[in-house]
Structure 1
């Protein structure tokens, strides 16, 4: 089976990256962190671009694409640290009026947590007794439900894994760029073996996760999705940490983008099929196969 991207898929990925570069660049990311709140104009721009209606049939007003294309789009969202209940709104397209067009912001409980509850127009699920909690990620306000809950359908986990993959790719690129530009002892720090090894390991983690996420998008198998989520979580968290190490003290400053990727990766790791449920699903599948 040929898993290489088609010309149309590459064009889709490029188009989404260019859209986000225009509408959610570095200054916009910083403004979102400093000011909080959800940018409704950006949300509608995503709707106009078909972000939420990507998998709706064309006869229903959608783009008519599939899960592999959705993974490519959410990978770019993760790369840009795009905020908001993207997955819930995407899954609600065609079910909730205005979701596909970006006019309605939809959120849903997940594992006892609800993101962007106060900003959402529609909440899918019971959020009785939800209490606001402090979020590790300044771009993701959270409420906790008293009774907990499940993580929803496997495709939620796959789209979250795609976001983690995008974040891992971004921090790997940031580390490599900084290693080429930052000089110590008269030469770029990328010339030192220890930094080379860090960047190489980041790339390997990212590409292994990419293969797993893309394959799971093609098969849609819940067990493969669980494995992809685990690999993408590991890649996002560890690549962000290694990127911090490459940047040194500068990487720990509030002005740097690196810490935002690490905080978002921590949060995603515990959501839409957290580590323990994903491991249990894989273990059960292995035990059944023995």
Structure 2
């Protein structure tokens, strides 16, 4: 099976990258961090809607682009590269089901594993039946999120959170894995760039074997995760998605840690963006539910003897 991108897919990826880097560059990222998860950029959200980010997979007859899951994965990979904030996955999956989600006029969030992202800035909490009930907002408890760009609320045990469980479709897991892939790719690039330009003892630190090994390991994990995520986008098989999720989470978390190591002391400072990628990777790894759920899917497939 040929997983190389078509010309149209490359054009889509490049277009999304140009839009996001132009509208959510380093200065916008830092401004969002300074706001501490308050004040979601509604203008940018509507721009994403106008560009078809949320309606990408809707049929053309319904006002969408009529594209498929592989194209959506490419778009979400680019969102992960720039740490784009907001409940992107929930709004994308709600397009065509919740009024205003497709064009970015409505911000939709959902409950994942008892946690809700961007609750205060969202218009609707997408329940199992798309019920925009306010019960979640009334009972939710605000948390201090490790990621300054992902404000979180927890649903108390006494609240019937199952009613508001949000989209349990494996597609939510796959699109989150695509974000993690973009995160991992960006930290790999940042590490290599720093290794080429930072000098120590009269030569770039990339000349040292220990740094070479860190960068090589990051690249291997990124490419392995990319192959798994792209393959799962083609098959949409729950087992393939579970594998893609595990590989993408590993690439994002370990990649950000290794990137921080390559940057040395400056990587630990608030002024460096490396810690933002690590924190985002930690939070996104929780969005797909406990890692054991994906591991159980893979284990069940092995036990069943399908040979995948």
Provide the TM-score with structure 1 as the length reference.
Answer: 0.98
Counterpart selection for 2:115 from 90, 113, 116: 113
Alignment pair present for 1:17 and 2:33? no
Counterpart selection for 2:237 from 215, 218, 221: 221
Correspondence for 2:34:
34
Taking the aligned partners of 2:98 and 2:240, their CA distance within structure 1 comes to: 29
The CA deviation at 1:122 is 1.0
Correspondence for 1:78:
80
The CA deviation at 1:86 is 0.2
Taking the aligned partners of 1:181 and 1:22, their CA distance within structure 2 comes to: 25
State whether residues 205 and 235 of structure 1, in contact with CA within 8 Å, keep that contact through their aligned partners in structure 2. Answer: yes
State whether residues 226 and 273 of structure 1, in contact with CA within 8 Å, keep that contact through their aligned partners in structure 2. Answer: no
State whether residues 152 and 272 of structure 1, in contact with CA within 8 Å, keep that contact through their aligned partners in structure 2. Answer: no
Q: How many residues are treated as equivalent by the alignment?
A: 290
Please give the per-residue CA displacement for 1:96-115, whole angstroms capped at 9, x wherever unaligned.
11111111100111110000
Alignment pair present for 1:140 and 2:150? yes
The CA deviation at 1:288 is 1.3
Taking the aligned partners of 2:62 and 2:123, their CA distance within structure 1 comes to: 22
Correspondence for 1:245:
261
Counterpart selection for 2:200 from 173, 184, 197: 184
Counterpart selection for 1:52 from 44, 54, 57: 54
Counterpart selection for 2:291 from 275, 283, 286: 275
Correspondence for 2:130:
none
Taking the aligned partners of 1:119 and 1:21, their CA distance within structure 2 comes to: 23
Taking the aligned partners of 2:296 and 2:140, their CA distance within structure 1 comes to: 27
Counterpart selection for 1:205 from 221, 225, 228: 221
Taking the aligned partners of 1:169 and 1:273, their CA distance within structure 2 comes to: 23
State whether residues 212 and 231 of structure 1, in contact with CA within 8 Å, keep that contact through their aligned partners in structure 2. Answer: yes
Taking the aligned partners of 2:144 and 2:39, their CA distance within structure 1 comes to: 15
Please give the per-residue CA displacement for 1:138-165, whole angstroms capped at 9, x wherever unaligned.
0000000123656711000000000000
The CA deviation at 1:284 is 1.2
SS in 1 for 2:66: coil
Structure 1 segments (4+ residues) deviating >3 Å: 147-151
SS in 2 for 1:114: strand
Taking the aligned partners of 1:228 and 1:204, their CA distance within structure 2 comes to: 14
The CA deviation at 1:273 is 3.5
Counterpart selection for 1:175 from 191, 197, 200: 191
Unmatched segments (≥5 aa) in structure 2: 128-134
Correspondence for 1:152:
168
Correspondence for 2:141:
131
Which deviates further from its counterpart, 147-156 or 32-41? 147-156
Taking the aligned partners of 2:50 and 2:57, their CA distance within structure 1 comes to: 14
Alignment pair present for 1:289 and 2:302? no
Please report the RMSD computed on the Cα atoms of aligned residues, expressed in angstroms: 1.2
Correspondence for 1:166:
182
Alignment pair present for 1:87 and 2:89? yes
